[in-house]
Amino acid sequence: MKQQIAVYPGSFDPITNGHLDILMRGLELFDKVICSVAYNIEKKALFSVEERMDLIKKSVNNSDHVLVDSFEGLLVDYVKKVNARFVIRGLRAMSDFEYEFQMASMNRNLNKDMDTIFMMTGKDFFFISSRTIKEVAAFGGCVKGFVPEVVEKRLREKFSIK
């Protein structure tokens, strides 16, 4: 029997509980989810790709059903390379939908065998974004409950907060 594999791509700088909500729900639909950190030269990242991958692995307790990877270039090429057919994308608001719909349409045009699955982020996490988390943490605000403990700890270290 063929294993159903999905790719959950993103910058994950850092991974939040909203990301984990989507990831865990994705595991209910697929045998394996590849959580893949995208190299994005347009974004100034707080954590290196390697640090983000490590934080994801620790956040999912090295689950056998979650593979943590990274990629650069076109998502459609990466999806084909890892023998997946599905891409998982989380949505928080209408503004997310417009961008994600455009990307999914382009990806489908480039690879007719690839489908994008949109999942609404849980109600407790729809207002959380990595950018907001970094901003709050940079000013010494509490991000407990919005990110995994390992991420909270690394943010405190990164911003020299006790």
The pTM of the full predicted model, rounded to 2 decimals, is: 0.93
- Catalytic residue, from 11, 130, 134, 154: name it: 130
Q: Is 19 a catalytic residue?
A: yes
**How far does Cα 158 stand from its chain's mean position?**
20
Buried b (16+ CB within 10 A) or exposed e, 88-110: bbbbeeeebeeebeeebeebeee
Residue 2 pLDDT class (50, 70, 90 cuts): low
Superfamily of 5-126 according to CATH: HUPs (3.40.50.620)
Query: Is the bond preceding residue 148 a cis peptide, omega within 30 degrees?
Result: no
Q: Is 65 a catalytic residue?
A: no
- Catalytic residue, from 43, 81, 131, 153: name it: 43
Angle (CA) 11-17-23 rounded to 5° is 70
Which residue intervals of 41-93 are DSSP H helices? 49-59, 75-81
Residue 42 pLDDT class (50, 70, 90 cuts): confident
Of the chain, the percentage scoring pLDDT greater than 90 comes to 80
Distance CA 103, CA 145 (A): 30
Q: How many residues does the chain have?
A: 162
Taking only the tens place, the pLDDT of each residue in 70-94 is 999 999 999 999 999 999 999 987 7
The token duo for 3 is: 């294993």
Q: Is 92 a catalytic residue?
A: yes
pLDDT of 162 above 70: no
- Catalytic residue, from 19, 52, 134, 154: name it: 19
| Residue 156, Ramachandran bin (φ over 0: left; ψ between -120 and 50: alpha; else beta) | alpha
- Catalytic residue, from 57, 85, 92, 156: name it: 92
> Helices 149-158 and 49-59 meet at what angle, rounded to 10?
150
Domain ranges across the chain: 5-126
Residue 63 pLDDT class (50, 70, 90 cuts): confident
Taking only the tens place, the pLDDT of each residue in 92-140 is 877 778 888 999 999 999 999 999 999 998 888 888 999 999 999 999 9
